[in-house]
């Protein structure tokens, strides 16, 4: 082989290694990003996780306290007058319904399935329960009804002034801006995912072109890239899971920290579960490609002696000698 041929061969292998490494990176990132999107953009994950992490209990306590503070003396008067607690007014089933509605509407907007963000908490039902309980109590205390109507009207007016029937979270300070940023980030991630898939196909094509003179070489290079990418994606998600748990464990002594730790554990496990089929498919494809490359090589090697032997026995060959 001439010096030019040697240089060309070296350059070819340098580019093969480079393109293979780039393909490994693209496939690994594609698996991780796709698995993350599958989990994080699915409303079912959040609805299940709110129950598992105890978010409803925490939200119930925080929300009830906030409403009492916002309602002031009128809310306290109604609660004392009615003889019921905040647990009877803002029931956990009601909180769960409101939370799941918010999740559905938020993800519909973030995913681009809805043009508007209707993040509204409807307080009509709990306010009606509170007023009904107060009305029943007043009726028991004043069977003749003297003054009860005026008192109820006064208390209702005070409650309506302090606590609205609907709270628009999107209209709160920074609420819509946060939603817009989340929507933009999701669209960027989806575009990036498509871009990574296209780049991976282009890199696979370039590898096939560079190794086009040998089918077994194509199978080996692509098989190795798929195998390494599948293993790396599972390793990357596993390491990220351990790091997240390790970091959040320092805050586990607080209710908020415990919730975040539970969500991080379950979320990373869900991403790992979503990534496993894709990673396993890459690993299997890689094993098949590598194995096929050796089988193809062995088949060619076995054919060479047979062809040579056939050539020796050929009459034409004997006559020439």
Rounded to an integer, what distance in angstroms lies between the CA atom of residue 185 and that of residue 193? 12
Token representation of residue 7:
């240089």
Q: In terms of domains, do 85 and 132 share one?
A: yes
Distances 26 to 195, 218, 233, 268 between C-alpha atoms, Å: 10, 18, 10, 21
**Tally of structural domains, the chain:** 2
The pTM assigned to this predicted structure is 0.74
Q: In terms of domains, do 64 and 134 share one?
A: yes
Q: Is residue 59 part of a domain?
A: yes
Q: In terms of domains, do 51 and 144 share one?
A: yes
Q: Is residue 134 part of a domain?
A: yes
Instruction: Please write the tens of the pLDDT for every residue from 273-294.
Output: 999 999 999 999 999 999 988 8
Q: Is residue 153 part of a domain?
A: yes
pLDDT at 79 > cutoff 70: no
Q: In terms of domains, do 196 and 276 share one?
A: yes
Pairing of strands 166-168, 120-122: antiparallel
Q: Is residue 50 part of a domain?
A: yes
Could you give the 3-state DSSP secondary structure of residue 166? strand
pLDDT at 138: 72
Q: Whole-number mean pLDDT of the chain?
A: 81
Token representation of residue 131:
């007023």
Q: In terms of domains, do 10 and 82 share one?
A: no
CA 155 centroid distance within chain = 46
pLDDT at 301: 40
Eight-class DSSP state of 102: H
Q: In terms of domains, do 101 and 32 share one?
A: no
Q: In terms of domains, do 23 and 103 share one?
A: no
pLDDT at 21 > cutoff 90: yes
Residue range 138-142: mean pLDDT, rounded:
70
Instruction: Please write the tens of the pLDDT for every residue from 87-103.
Output: 677 777 888 888 889 89
Rounded to an integer, what distance in angstroms lies between the CA atom of residue 313 and that of residue 321? 12
Q: Which domain holds residue 69?
A: 44-110+124-162
Residue range 220-247: mean pLDDT, rounded:
91
Q: In terms of domains, do 60 and 31 share one?
A: no
pLDDT at 304: 43
Could you give the angle at the alpha carbon of 148 between the alpha carbons of 145 and 149, nearest 5°? Answer: 100
- Max Cα separation, the chain? 133
Q: Find out whether 112 and 183 touch, Cβ atoms under 8 Å.
A: yes
Rounded to an integer, what distance in angstroms lies between the CA atom of residue 29 and that of residue 193? 9
Residue range 248-264: mean pLDDT, rounded:
79
Residue range 127-132: mean pLDDT, rounded:
81
Express the helix, strand and coil content of the chain in percent, nearest 5 each. Answer: 85, 0, 15
């Amino acid at each position: 082989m001439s010096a030019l041929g040697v240089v060309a061969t070296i350059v070819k292998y340098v580019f093969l290694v480079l393109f293979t490494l780039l393909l490994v990176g693209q496939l690994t990132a594609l698996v991780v990003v796709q698995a993350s999107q599958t989990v994080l953009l699915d409303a079912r994950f959040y609805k299940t996780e709110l129950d598992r992490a105890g978010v409803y209990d925490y939200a119930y306590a925080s929300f009830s306290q906030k409403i009492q503070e916002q309602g002031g003396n009128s809310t306290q008067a109604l609660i004392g007058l009615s003889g019921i607690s905040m647990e009877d007014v803002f029931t956990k089933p009601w909180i769960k319904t409101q939370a799941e509605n918010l999740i559905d509407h938020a993800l519909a907007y973030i995913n681009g399935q809805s043009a508007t963000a209707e993040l509204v908490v409807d307080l009509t039902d709990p306010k009606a329960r509170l007023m009904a309980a107060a009305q029943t109590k007043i009726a028991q205390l004043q069977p003749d009804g003297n003054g009860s109507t005026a008192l109820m009207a006064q208390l209702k007016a005070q409650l309506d002034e302090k606590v609205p029937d609907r709270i628009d979270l999107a209209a709160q300070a920074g609420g819509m801006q946060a939603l817009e940023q989340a929507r933009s980030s999701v669209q960027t991630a989806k575009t990036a995912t498509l871009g990574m898939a296209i780049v991976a196909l282009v890199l696979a094509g370039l590898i096939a072109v560079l190794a086009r003179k040998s089918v077994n070489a194509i199978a080996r290079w692509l098989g190795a890239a798929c195998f390494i990418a599948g293993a790396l994606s599972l390793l990357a998600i596993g390491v990220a899971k351990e790091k997240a748990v390790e970091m959040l464990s320092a805050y586990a002594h607080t209710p908020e920290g415990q919730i975040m730790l539970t969500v991080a554990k379950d979320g990373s496990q869900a991403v790992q579960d979503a990534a496993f089929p894709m990673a396993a498919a890459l690993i299997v494809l890689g094993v098949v490609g590598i194995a096929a490359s050796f089988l193809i090589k062995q088949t060619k090697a076995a054919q060479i002696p047979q062809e040579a032997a056939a050539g020796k026995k050929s009459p034409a060959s004997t006559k020439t000698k």
